[in-house]
Amino acid sequence: MTETTPDASAPIFTLSESLPWYKKSATKWISLLALVLAVIGIYHCSRAVTADFRLAKGAVDRFHAEFNAGTFGQIYADSAEGLRHHSSEAELVELLAAVQRKLGNVVNSEREQAVSVNNNNGVTTVNLAYQTTFTQGRGEEKFVWEIEGGKALLLNYTINSRDLILK
C-alpha cells in the first residue's frame, strides 16, 4: 500500500468553518422571533390608538349634546384635571354660554382628516378638529382629550369662528 501525504499547498477545511449569519440556525430563529414580536407590538399599538380615537370621537358627540342642552357645568365636571387646574368652572361656563348665545346650537359637525394621538410619559392625548355648523354660524372647533381610565376627558377646547367675533 502506498501512503500519501497531504499536499501542503491544498486548503484544509474543518467542521468549525464559519457560516454566514443568515445560514446559522440559531440566528434564523432569533430573527424570526424578533419579527413576530415586532408585528405583535405594532398590532397592539394600532389597536390602542384606534380605541383612544373612538373614545375621543364619542366624547365630542357627548360634548355637543351637553352644549346643546346648556349643561356647561357638566362639561366642566367631566373634564380633565389639567383643564380644571387652568380654568375655573365659571370661566368655561361663560365661554360656552357666549358661543351658544352668538352661534346657537350645534347642527352638524364634520371631523377633519388630521387626527393626532400622542403618548407622553404615560399620558395619552387625542387631538381632533371639526368644522361645525351652528344654527347661527360656523366655526372650527379643536378638542384635546386626555384618555384616562378608559374615558376621554376634555383637556382643551378652542373655537375659531369669524361669525362668533362679528356677532
Cell 378638529 locates to: 129
The owner of cell 491544498 is 10
**Dihedral over Cα of 127, 139, 111, 52: its sign:** positive
Q: Is residue 11 part of a domain?
A: no
- pLDDT one-digit tens code per residue, 121-140: 889 999 999 999 999 999 99
Which pTM was predicted? 0.72
> Is residue 17 one of the residues assigned to a domain?
no
Residue 97 forms part of a structural domain: yes
Identify whether 12 is part of a domain.
no
Contact 55, 126 (CB under 8 A): yes
Residue 81 lies in a domain: yes
Identify the helix (H) or strand (E) that includes residue 107: strand 106-120
Tell me which residue of 52, 42, 64, 47 sits closest to 116, measured CA to CA.
Answer: 52
Q: Domain residues for 154?
A: 24-166
Higher-confidence residue: 22 or 150?
A: 150
In a domain, 146, yes or no: yes
What DSSP line would sit under 136-161, residue for residue? TEEEEEEEEEEEETTEEEEEEEEEE-
Residue identified by cell 365636571 is 77
The CATH number that applies at residue 150 is 3.10.450.590
Look at residue 90 in the predicted model and tell me its pLDDT. 97
Distance, CA of 116 to CA of 17 (rounded, Å): 53
Grid cell of 56 as nine digits: 375621543
> Does residue 43 fall inside a structural domain?
yes
**What residue has cell string 354660554?**
97
What pLDDT sits at residue 5? 57
Q: Per residue in 62-110, pLDDT tens?
A: 999 999 999 999 999 999 999 999 999 999 999 999 999 999 999 999 9
- Whether residue 142 contacts residue 129, with contact meaning beta carbons closer than 8 Å, is answered with yes
Q: Is residue 19 part of a domain?
A: no
Number of domains present in the structure of the chain: 1
